[in-house]
Amino acid sequence: MSLSRAISAAVLLGALGLASSAGLSSAAQQSPAPPPAAAPASGQQPAPPQPPIIAPPIRTTTNLVDVQFAVVNKSQKFVTDLQKENFRVLDDGAAQAITAFSRQTDLPLRIGLLLDTSNSIRERLGFEQDAAFDFLFNVIHRGRDQAFLMTFDDQPEVIQGYTDNLDTLRDAIQRQRAGGGTALYDAIYQACATQMMHAPPPPGHGQEFRRILVVISDGDDNLSQKSRSEALEMAQRVGVVIYTISTSIQWIKPDDEVSTSDSAERKFYKGPGDMVLQHLADDTGGRAFFPSKVDDLNQSFLDIGDELRSQYSLAYAPLGRLVDGKFHTIKIEVDQKDLIVRSRAGYYAAPPTFAEP
């Protein structure tokens, strides 16, 4: 192609390009504009802009069961060196796969101290006060654990909210006086449904802690609106372990009836109140203590403190079960003879309720 033809072709292409651009511009100018929004009628406000439609999050419910338990030998000494393979867990009698296992040696504690101040224990109130403070002194680690004080006679009353200050707790305990009826079950129910349900978590995201209720009482109840089964159910729903200390002295032989040979067997009879305390402790994975005097409490308190920091934890998801709201039994077996597992009797497959007493 000659230079003149090339120039002519370039000029022709440029002209065609200009014509095409002009055509597009003309077409754009001739396209009708979208109709303006209708003006609102006189006195009416324009409709607010509608927010974008966002699909709600999909929520799923998992029925993961977490169990904390202790293992002791025949001498009631804690065994803390076992492994996951040493245990088998049964849910309503069916073996389950353990999905998580650990030795919980030093979890923070949230402790509720329930002090019976009814008229029936008037002569033993000093015993209870000493017992209560001795327990806290042996167990509470300041800056890590917290406790609250609730008394109960005609009705439960929170005397001191959660604190780690032992002086504050001691002063609150020593101020109490006895009188009135006994609403033990109402106290347990309310302590679990309010204080324990909303216990302050330790610093740090998602850190675990234990909910412990210590009941110091003779176990009698003559005024509660809630039943024993309702109080126990609330404790099990919230995951509270109950330790009980009996102030009863009816099962202790008088000194003149105790010979040297049977002096170690003073606890020969448990009354109805003692059996209530035993039942509350057994079904929540705790322990019941029946000391004869304040001096006998020291080892009991040390045992409780050791147990709270010498436990295991395991978790499992029951196969094929929905969150049905029913009670299901738990049994943990260990493969070594002469060892005893202490754990809660079962759980409710539903979130805790928030009902007030």
Nearest to 151 by CA among 117, 193, 112, 102: 117
- Is there a single domain that holds both residue 266 and residue 342? no
347 and 264 fall within a common domain: no
Whether residues 220 and 82 share a domain: the answer is: no
Range from 29-38, 82-91, 105-114, 197-206 carrying the lowest mean pLDDT: 29-38
| Domain match, 205 and 343 both | no
Least confident of 62-66, 237-241, 329-333: 62-66
Q: How many domains does the chain have?
A: 2
**Is residue 14 situated within a structural domain?**
no
Q: Are residues 333 and 302 in the same domain?
A: no
Q: Give the integer Cα–Cα distance in Å for 140 and 135.
A: 8
The pair phi, psi for residue 146, each rounded to 5°, is -140, 155
List the domain range (segments joined by +) for residue 338: 60-105+323-352
Looking at the structure, do residues 137 and 268 belong to the same domain, yes or no?
yes
Q: Is 237 helix (H, G, I), strand (E, B) or coil?
A: helix
Q: Are residues 274 and 144 in the same domain?
A: yes
Whether residues 212 and 244 share a domain: the answer is: yes
Worst-scoring range by mean pLDDT, 35-39, 96-100, 102-106, 110-114? 35-39
Q: Tell me whether residue 256 is in a domain.
A: yes
Specify if 282 maps to a domain: yes
Please report whether residue 19 resides in a domain.
Answer: no
User: Is 134 part of a structural domain of the chain?
Assistant: yes
In a domain, 186, yes or no: yes
Bigger pLDDT: 270 or 328? 328
Does 45 map to a domain?
Answer: no
Give the three-class secondary structure for 349: coil
Check whether residue 85 and residue 117 sit in a common domain: no
User: pLDDT confidence of 157, banded at 50, 70, 90?
Assistant: very high
Clarify whether residues 111 and 95 are in a common domain: no
The one-character DSSP state at 205 is: T
User: pTM for the complete prediction?
Assistant: 0.77
The answer to whether residue 8 sits within a structural domain is: no
Looking at the structure, do residues 92 and 180 belong to the same domain, yes or no? no
- Please tell me the predicted confidence (pLDDT) of residue 47: 59
**353, pLDDT greater than 80:** no
Q: Which of 124-138, 150-164, 269-283 has the lowest mean pLDDT?
A: 124-138
Q: Is the pLDDT of residue 44 over 80?
A: no
Mean pLDDT confidence for 154-172: 97
pLDDT band at residue 7 using 50, 70 and 90 as cut-offs: very low
pLDDT reported for residue 139: 86
- C-alpha 279/C-alpha 282 separation (Å) is 5
* 300-320 tens-digit pLDDT: 777 777 788 789 999 999 987
Same domain, 142 and 179: yes
Check which CATH number belongs to the domain holding 110 and give it. Answer: 3.40.50.410
CA 265 to chain centre: 37
For the cut 90, the answer to whether the pLDDT of residue 155 exceeds it is yes
